[in-house]
Amino acid sequence: MYVCICHAVTEKDIQKAIANGASSVAMLSESTSLGTQCGHCTDHAHAMISKCGRQCP
């Protein structure tokens, strides 16, 4: 599922970025460009960072 429509960033892309050390929306933005256009995706991305810190593969 796409989280960031503007930059075609999927949940899997975000999980991969988190696995590679991204721990904030700013770090996700650096590696994927997520949130750098309309910004509507940042709440979902933030929620994924919080959740994946504890239980994502």
Residues of this chain that interact with ligand FES (CB under 6 A) are 4-7, 34-41
Nearer to ligand FES, 17 or 57 (CB): 17
Nearer to ligand FES, 6 or 27 (CB): 6
Nearest CA among 5, 48, 42 for reference residue 26: 42
Q: How far is the CB of 39 from ligand FES (least distance, A)?
A: 5
* Whether 15 contacts 57, CB under 8 Å: yes
Nearer to ligand FES, 9 or 52 (CB): 9
